[in-house]
Amino acid sequence: MGKAVARVCEKTPGAEIAAGYDIHTDGSEKFPVYSDLSEVKEEFDVIIDFSHPSAFDSLIDHVEKTKTPAVICTTGLSDGQRARMNEAAKSAPIFFSANMSIGINLIIDLAVRAAKLLENNFDIEIIEKHHNQKLDAPSGTALAIADAVSEAVSYEPEYTYDRHSVRRKRGKTEIGLHAVRGGTIVGEHDVIFAGTDEVIELKHSAASKEVFAVGAVKAAVFMKGKGAGMYSMKDLIENS
């Protein structure tokens, strides 16, 4: 993702990478790369983070200390880390999205509208597919879709991740979440609304990681100079 962000920045007016931070580097970058964020000597306006939950605490420590705007794109954060991020946003500007693709966020918006209109008459299932190296399942994006739909309906949905251990009919309030892992699939999300004699599907497929980098760079440009608070893709889309 770091290389994808670098490629997008080269094509984006007003966006320039001052430095990178990564525990691994092949030395081919056109900018300095540090193994620790606190070691960065260059001045910068925004941090883009595509890393791993294990790097979260040091990132938030830096954001809280410096008040530097951060675009956090890492998935698989624990409930405790999400809570700390929300707390940090009280004093620093933080942008967070489980998926940085503009397209997937449009799918979430459409899923919310569909859920409101089809409530009580359609069963909701979410299928996500990713490459065989992805660690978390279901994906953060699948959960974000389910959470958005849950807030839109009048009942409290029950998330069902696996049905093989219980022999019973599907509950009316269930939202099924299913994860597929294989090959080099970048990312696919399918939201299914299954009713009587008809099925509606909303689907998004990412062909490359570039789509996530484009969203992240747009978010970084958007976040420059922002005040403390929690920002989301909805804020970016509404102000674009």
Residues forming the active site: 130, 134
Are 101 and 212 a contacting pair, CB within 8 Å? yes
The SS3 assignment for 7 reads helix
Task: Return the closest-CA partner of residue 199 out of 124, 146, 142, 127.
Answer: 124
At residue 99's C-alpha, the angle toward residues 94 and 102, to 5°, is 95
**What are the distances in angstroms from CA 85 to CA 61, 105, 143?**
10, 21, 18
- 80-114: buried (b, 16+ CB within 10 Å) or exposed (e) per residue? ebeebbeebbeebbbbbbbbbbbebbebbeebbeb
Give the C-alpha separation, 228 to 23, whole Å. Answer: 29
**What are the distances in angstroms from CA 156 to CA 2, 141, 177?**
39, 20, 16
